[in-house]
Structure 1
Amino acid sequence: MTVARLNMSWTITSSAWARFTWRADDFELGISTSYLDKSLDQLLRAALDLQLGSSSAIAGIYGMPDGHMFLFGGAAEDVFLQILYLPDLQQDDPWTGVTRVWGERIPVAAFVQATLRIAQEVLEEHPGAGYGGLWEGRPFPLKELSLLRQSFQ
């Protein structure tokens, strides 16, 4: 069965930390993520890959020392998404102890639109150097956002 309702949010909660929330039908997952990775960049890249017709994509959202992997596969109009929890990314084998948190088919268009929306909201809320000031100097993923916007033209 394909998810009917999909929503995401990305909120910078403090210097160097953000809260990513994934909502699909009645399931909700909140993930704290830090500036140490490029989680928003990875979500944008996964959305772009799927928008451009790739059959699979991957995005990591890391909290340190743990993290979540979003694995997209078998994409057409819908894509099967598995969200995996990795309890300790600092182990020699970070896949040790991995558990599947959620898995379902989602509409590619809904994921792409939700990703585009959260990135645009973050950029509007923290324009210019504002994002970098809160994200330990790391720039906003403007290139990835621009490419995703262009993919609709």
Structure 2
Amino acid sequence: MDHTPAATPRPSRRPLTLDVSWVLSPLLALPGVASGVVLSRDGLILGGSADVSVEAGERTAAMTSSVLGAARALCEGLSNGADGEVVDIVISAGKGYYYIAPAGDRAAIVVAATGAVNVGSLAYEVQLQVQKLIKALNDASAARTPEIPA
């Protein structure tokens, strides 16, 4: 199992507008976690683990955005509009799990893990990183927003 620290996906011909790959490092250190991608809510890649190519990261980001949209629609539909918030999604696959967690209304994290992962520990650690990601995005947004004089 490769626990390479998170880094900008390689090879890159398209620079990331905001690289938040650092948010994946603690997750990649967990036993069983293989790779991850950070994406904007509209499906653009914001970062990824070192073993994820730009093309694979872009595909993953787009598909994950669609899965989140479908999950929100499902929650809203089954609750008659009372609950459209998705906290996390766990997809159990043949060789492991895919864990998806929205980070506020602007981003999400998705990680791939083997069947050896402790899903409870993964869920806890992902939610910690989600909070850090939300703060980083808020700080970056505030830094780009010019202050309007009163």
Output the TM-score relative to the length of structure 1. Answer: 0.32
* Bigger radius of gyration: 2
Bigger strand fraction? 1
Output the TM-score relative to the length of structure 2. Answer: 0.32
Bigger helix fraction? 2
